[in-house]
A and B are shown apart, each in its own frame.
Chain A
């Protein structure tokens, strides 16, 4: 089913690109029968919508759900802009802001957030650099720091560390590696000195001898709103009801996710049932017994009711603008629509 979905989506995207290049507008036929398409990455943090679909929370809202898998956040944002999918959940990237500036997409809620009581993203150092004295993020001066691309969340974290530690941002050498596996390879082989990453990947890395944890991102960024929920501007303006129903279903999925993995208030059977659903899309290449602990490991809190930390979003927007990664004219109103969820 997963494969079929992807293939049809590919076809849809091709035709959509054709239409886009011809400059034709898009019709809202995508959800005429209230079918919505949700873009996901194969990460635990994308579980809430999977759970909501699996437990029928979206069905309660009269929504049929199709999941579309992506390899990276950027194409997901573009697919939402071209109305090929309806909802997505990723970190705030330069691409997302650019598309918001062009009036194509809007952030409608918050998802993953760093909170002091939950184990969050870690700052890692290569063993060689650690031995040479890089024992704390404050000593990143003059070191290289791996990122996927310029304007990615990794880039933001590196600069926030510099800001908080009190040295100039340019003292950290940002090394773009395009993809997470490439960053991991470079860190393990010591070709880059440092990186920051979600706890489950960090945990797997620090088990080996090549990588050492040197700090926590939450020490450097307050209440970091790591990922947000976003949709197309068209949905926000023309299909408010649909957006509300999606968020209502998602909220129940988030509650189950937090209960299962973060607060651990659910029984083992319930957790297993949820992991079963998630496993269809996350760590799907591994057998269930191996995948289940990985899904659960290092799960970070997702905001109840998709509450959105506006202060953190604004801080990120300001950072993008200060680094001239996005146009200076983008406002919070361009980026965020606050009518759907509680903000703080």
Chain B
């Protein structure tokens, strides 16, 4: 009996032999999983903005350290009212598109060469590793001598900035193409160019596209540097001018424009991934 009492779970069994009472197994699997919360991000963003606005209005945030969000919004609205936004946007978009397109095209070409030919790998891959970490801003004075203070040096800055990450993404992608697929192609007697076009490039495409995300972000980061020299218009030039005039409302408006540009580019690349990589789930 005393034993029964010390084991309470066994106690009912002795009272009603053969018909033990049932109870559910406690659920222990909660937590540690992520569920999607759609509206949390905008709410956090809005809450931050409201706190910021209140801080600015009450003077808790000094007007030298940050403008109120409404002031930045007003500066943004001014850009639209005066129509200057289109001048700045078109100038920057031109530089971004030309520089990034040329940079990624060259980057894919060199990346493929490194991925496919051992001679190119031996010769170029250390060069890429050596040149990639150089801040392109540091080369700006040289770019000015080489390419002039016109569009040349600006496009070149962005071109070089997007070239290196694309090279690395591309040859990494080529290296990661499933070897068994290449062997399959060889076993069916596919030509070298068919294997490259139909197996290696599509296989490396996911890596190349994620390289695009990085190179596009770098291109936007470099926009400000590219527009330091001799740029009358452009979002980077606008931000620099705002900084020089200590017009921090315009500064924040310009930075917000860069953010929006980044979001737009990320969305476009997302679309491209959906289109080109539809086979991946």
A and B touch in the complex (CB under 8 A): yes
Partner of A23, one of B60, B229, B237: B60
Partner of A185, one of B59, B144, B240: B144
Q: Does A175 contact B (CB under 8 A)?
A: yes
B135 contacts A by Cβ under 8 Å: no
Contact present for B237 and A95 (CB under 8 Å): no
Q: Which residue of B lies closest to A325 (CB)?
A: B245
Question: Which A residues lie within 8 Å of B228 (CB)?
Answer: 176-178
Chain A residues near B229 (CB-CB < 8 A): 176-178, 182
Closest to A98 in B: B246
Whether A81 sits at the interface, judged by CB under 8 Å, is: yes
State whether the Cβ of A192 lies closer than 8 Å to any Cβ in chain B: yes
A149 touches B64 (CB 8 A): no
- Judge whether A343 is part of the interface by a CB distance below 8 angstroms: no
Determine if B230 and A99 form an interchain contact, defined as CB atoms under 8 angstroms apart: no
Q: If the complex has contacts A102-B64, A185-B144, A191-B148, are A74 and B244 also in contact, measured as CB distance less than 8 A?
A: yes
The residue from B55, B66, B245 contacting A150, defined by CB atoms under 8 A apart: B245
A186-B153 Cα distance, complex, nearest whole Å: 13
Pair B145/A102 contact, Cβ less than 8 Å: no
Contact of B244 among A21, A93, A185, A192 (CB under 8 A): A93
Q: Which of A176, A186, A326 contacts B231 (CB 8 A)?
A: A176
Partner of B241, one of A23, A96, A176: A176
In angstroms, Cα B265 to Cα A327, docked, is 33
Distance in angstroms from A83 CB to nearest chain B CB is 10
Asked whether any CB of chain A lies closer than 8 Å to the CB of B195, the reply is no
Residues in A with CB closer than 8 Å to B66 are 21
Contact A23 B246 (CB under 8 A): no
B64-A95 in contact (CB<8A): no
Do A74 and B148 form a contact, CB below 8 Å, given A104-B64, A186-B230?
A: no
What's the count of A-B pairs with C-beta under 8 Å?
A: 93
Cβ-neighbour of A178 out of B62, B65, B240 (below 8 A): B240
Q: Mark B38-59, 1 if CB is under 8 A from A, else 0.
A: 0000000000000000010001
Min CB distance, A159 to chain B, in Å?
A: 15
Which residues of the partner chain B approach A104 to less than 8 Å between Cβ atoms?
64
Query: Interface readout for A84-96 with B: 1 if CB under 8 Å, 0 if not?
Result: 0000000001111
B62 touches A174 (CB 8 A): no
User: In chain B, residues 208-243, which have Cβ atoms closer than 8 Å to a Cβ of chain A?
Assistant: 228-232, 237, 240-241, 243
Task: Judge whether B244 and A99 touch: CB under 8 Å.
Answer: no
Does A277 touch B at the CB level, under 8 Å?
no
Chain A, range 1-38, C-beta contacts under 8 Å to B: 17, 20-21, 23, 25
- In the bound complex, CA of A178 to CA of B254 (Å): 18
- Complex contacts, A81 vs chain B, CB 8 Å: 64
Closest-by-CB residue of B relative to A324 is B82
- A23–B62 touching, CB < 8 Å: yes
Q: Judging by beta carbons under 8 Å apart, are A149 and B240 in contact? A: yes
A71-89 interface mask toward B, CB cutoff 8 Å, 1 = contact, 0 = none? 0001001100110000000
Are B244 and A20 in contact, CB atoms less than 8 angstroms apart? no
Tally of contact residues, A, Cβ under 8 A: 38
Selected from B149, B237, B243, B246, the residue in CB contact (under 8 A) with A99 is B246
Q: B64, B148, B230, B246 — which one has the most chain A CB atoms within 10 A of its CB?
A: B246
Which residues on the A side are within 8 Å of B243 (C-beta)?
Answer: 74
Inter-chain contacts of B241 with A (CB < 8 A): 149-151, 176
- Mask for B60-91, Cβ within 8 A of A = 1, else 0? 11111110000000000000000000000000
> When chains A and B are docked, how far (Å) is the Cα of A174 from the Cα of B149?
12
Contacts of B62 in A (CB 8 A): 20, 23, 25
Residue in B55, B145, B149 whose Cβ sees the most chain A Cβ within 10 Å: B149
A303 at the A/B interface (Cβ < 8 Å)? no
- Within 8 Å of chain A (Cβ to Cβ): is B12? no
A218 within 8 A of B: no
Contact A150 B141 (CB under 8 A): no
A275 located at the interface, meaning its Cβ lies under 8 Å from any Cβ of chain B in the complex: no
Residue tally, chain B, CB below 8 Å to A = 28
1/0 contact string of B141-181 vs chain A (CB within 8 Å): 10011001100000000000000000000000000000000
A154-182 with Cβ < 8 A to chain B: 173-178, 182
B228 smallest CB distance to A (angstroms): 5
B247 CB within 8 Å of chain A: yes
Assembled-state Cα–Cα distance A20/B244 (Å): 20
Q: Does B245 lie within 8 Å of A191, measured CB to CB?
A: no
Report the minimal beta-carbon distance from A276 to chain B, rounded to whole angstroms: 34
Q: Is there contact, CB below 8 Å, between A176 and B237? A: yes
Contacts of A17 in B (CB 8 A): 65
Which of B148, B149, B244, B248 gathers most chain A CB within 10 Å?
Answer: B244
CB atoms of A182 and B246 under 8 A apart: no
Of B240, B246, B247, the residue contacting A77 (CB under 8 A) is: B246
Chain A residues whose CB sits within 8 angstroms of the CB of B237 once the complex forms: 176
Choice from A94, A102, A174, A182 contacting B245 with Cβ under 8 Å:
A94
* A152 adjacent to chain B (CB < 8 Å): yes
**Whole-angstrom distance from the CB of A208 to the nearest CB of chain B?**
17
Instruction: Give per-residue flags for A226-257: 1 if the beta carbon is below 8 A from chain B beta carbons, else 0.
Output: 00000000000000000000000000000000
> In the complex the two chains form, what is the Cα distance from A135 to B59 in whole Å?
54
A94–B244 CB distance below 8 A: yes
A322 interface residue, CB < 8 Å from B? no
A-B contact pairs, 12 of them (CB 8 A): A74-B243, A78-B64, A98-B245, A99-B246, A150-B245, A152-B244, A176-B240, A178-B228, A178-B229, A182-B229, A185-B141, A325-B245
Q: A residues bordering B, Cβ < 8 Å?
A: 17, 20-21, 23, 25, 74, 77-78, 81-82, 93-96, 98-99, 102-104, 148-152, 173-178, 182, 185-186, 189, 191-192, 325-326
7 cross-chain pairs, A with B, having the tightest CB-CB distances, nearest first:
A94-B245, A149-B244, A95-B246, A20-B65, A98-B246, A23-B61, A23-B60
